[in-house]
Amino acid sequence: MPLSAASVYPRTDQPLPTWVAVGGSPESVVRAARQKMMLMLAIIGGGPVRFKPFVDLFRQANEQLG
């Protein structure tokens, strides 16, 4: 769930960007899209190409969810 009621001090001039870190669960990718959050993939092992399906899923979920 996004931090909607959290306060940050000292105050910033602009909102702080936040991401949801995902380690390889398709459900987590869709949840990030549903919450209108940016996605960060936690690539611990293997090549980045292995995670392309998660990026594709994130984009597809964003399109479907509006």
3-33 pLDDT tens trace: 677 787 898 899 888 899 998 799 999 999 9
Query: What sign has the CA pseudo-torsion 43, 47, 48, 52?
Result: negative
For the chain, give the percent of residues with pLDDT over 70. Answer: 95
pTM above 0.85, yes or no: no
Question: In terms of residues, how long is the chain?
Answer: 66
Phi, psi at 36, each rounded to 5° = 60, 35
Sort residue 34 into left (φ over 0), alpha (ψ -120 to 50) or beta. alpha
Q: Determine how β-strand 38-41 pairs with β-strand 19-22.
A: parallel
Sort residue 46 into left (φ over 0), alpha (ψ -120 to 50) or beta. left
pLDDT of residue 2: 64
